[in-house]
Structure 1
Amino acid sequence: MRFEGKTALVTGASSGMGAATARMLAARGARVFTAQRRNAGFEDIEADLMDPDAPRKVINFVQALGTDLHILVNCAGMMREGTVEETSLDDWHAQLHLNLTVPFLFTRHAMPLLKRSKGAIVNVGSIEGLGNNPRHPAYGASKAGLHGLTRAVAVDHGPDGVRCNAVAPGWIDTPLNEDFIASQPDAENFRTKILDVHPLRRTGAPDEVAELICWLASDDARFVTGQVYTIDGGRTAQLPLP
């Protein structure tokens, strides 16, 4: 019960890594608020995060309850495919907004509460913030920006006692990724190729990412800040054959 007496806010908790993180925080004693359009089964705050004012409203709602905020997990995100020639300005702005601007706004509005609680922020980045898959210019740019924002917040607010870290997941078995595999002309062959690029010869589970997020949010990581932790089954460590 390492989070007993603590309050957490998780964005994008209706499925995948966000849902796994919210469940794990709650199971370990935290009071968990979530913010997204769909019900996630916790203390849900309905929010359309494409609205630039939504983060302020969510934080104001939590603050109005008179509770402290100890943990902020920025997990909401999106990915749309297309080269720079194929990506419309609307698609570019949508991905940059949800993947980068929304974490910035949540961090900005939550900072007074986090400074008071000496709290922790964990941003969900991606290995595509370190390298890029084809046809993901906006997604890669937004995740690289989120990694940079993580370091900037850690530097600026470390003196306030606020820690900020990020995780950079690789291929995780989320509904989004499963749908992507199913959309391929030869789904089983594609799945085999995905396994082959991982030294562990498997993809990751949302709970495995949630474990890392919870560790970074906990007092066990109280001397860790400004870091981006890759969790990808060794994928970025393995060079392709020539």
Structure 2
Amino acid sequence: MLTLQDKVAIITGASSGIGQGTAILFSNLGSKLVISGRDDNALDATIRSCNANLKTEIIKVVGDVTDPEIRQQIVETAIENFGKIDILVNGAGILKNDSIENMEMENFDFIMNVNVKSIIALTQLCLPHIIKQKGSIVNVSSVAGTRSFPNVLGYCISKAALDQFTKCVALELADKGVRVNSVNPGVIVTDIHKRAGYTEEEFQKFLTRCKTTHALGRPGSVDEVANTIAFLASDSASFITAELVHVDGGRHAMTPR
């Protein structure tokens, strides 16, 4: 049976979407948590959901993970309160619509800072503690890291970079007993697309298109991604590292004719 009993996990991006769902699942599986996000009230909502059925040891750190001081606070909070770090889930991320014709370098830098640079920096801070525990790192990437899509150029580049980070670091840390993997979701029903600028009508049309863009004929749910993250983070996946696990209803394998 899958368990994270007494594991200490850091989860970024836990105020909404996949990060929030992962925090709730981890708490149900027995993990002690340090969660971070920019929205204080939303983090409180995550904590209430985590504690709906049991009292989980969970601490929030409010702030932007691109801020070095916030990253330092996340790690220090985990060590000061729990004494160790077993798992790092890099869940924070941002999506913006752009193309080579209209992409502004300022926006590209921002996407890379959130989706790549902040993850590298936080991983470096956590690493001594994770090595000590022979722990696990799970990065939340995207099918856009392994497949190409128009009009989300910066996002695709950032997720492709994150996938290489996952595989390279997995090889570098294998002899230390640390596993590094990523999940690569397809379209998941969260607010990320609305935050990228989609209207409600556009978003519903986007979800309807999933009937043809995903082999299973539908978008995915947060729980389906969270379950995969929990498996990869757990000892049940003890012989899995450097893996990019598509949770995308088969979208990555499709070649429309």
Q: Normalising by structure 2, what TM-score?
A: 0.88
Q: CA deviation at 1:164?
A: 0.4
Alignment RMSD: 1.9
- Provide the residue aligned with 2:225 in structure 1: 209
Q: Among the aligned pairs, what percent are the same residue?
A: 32
Q: CA deviation at 1:190?
A: 4.1
Q: CA deviation at 1:48?
A: 1.6
CA distance in 2, matches of 1:174, 1:203: 10
- Provide the residue aligned with 2:51 in structure 1: none
- Provide the residue aligned with 2:15 in structure 1: 14
Structure 1 regions of 5+ residues with no counterpart? none
- Provide the residue aligned with 2:211 in structure 1: 195
From 66, 71, 74, the equivalent of 1:58 is: 74
Equivalent residue runs for 1:77-156 within 5 Å: 77-156=93-172
Per-residue CA deviations over 1:89-116 (Å, capped at 9, x if unaligned) read 1101110011011110111000010011
Per-residue CA deviations over 1:142-170 (Å, capped at 9, x if unaligned) read 10010101111111111111110001000
Structure 2 regions of 5+ residues with no counterpart? 48-57
Kindly tell me: are residues 190 and 52 of structure 1, through their superposed partners in 2, closer, same or farther at Cα, counting changes over 3 Å? same
Kindly tell me: are residues 209 and 186 of structure 1, through their superposed partners in 2, closer, same or farther at Cα, counting changes over 3 Å? closer
CA distance in 2, matches of 1:45, 1:184: 31
Number of residue pairs the alignment of both structures matches: 241
Per-residue CA deviations over 1:187-217 (Å, capped at 9, x if unaligned) read 6544332222122111100000000000000
From 228, 232, 241, the equivalent of 2:244 is: 228
Q: CA deviation at 1:119?
A: 0.5
Q: Which amino acid aligns with 1:2?
A: T
Equivalent residue runs for 1:164-203 within 5 Å: 164-177=180-193, 183=199, 189-203=205-219
- Provide the residue aligned with 1:47 in structure 2: 63
- 8 Å contact from structure 1 (residues 10, 35) kept in 2: yes
**Residue 162 of structure 2 is aligned to residue 161 of structure 1:** no
- Provide the residue aligned with 1:23 in structure 2: 24
CA distance in 1, matches of 2:227, 2:248: 14
Extract structure 1 runs of 4+ deviating beyond 6 A.
Answer: none
Moved more, 215-224 or 1-10: 1-10
Q: Which amino acid aligns with 1:134?
A: P
CA distance in 1, matches of 2:116, 2:25: 24
Q: Which amino acid aligns with 2:12?
A: T
Moved more, 93-102 or 56-65: 56-65
- 8 Å contact from structure 1 (residues 47, 58) kept in 2: no
Moved more, 191-200 or 112-121: 191-200
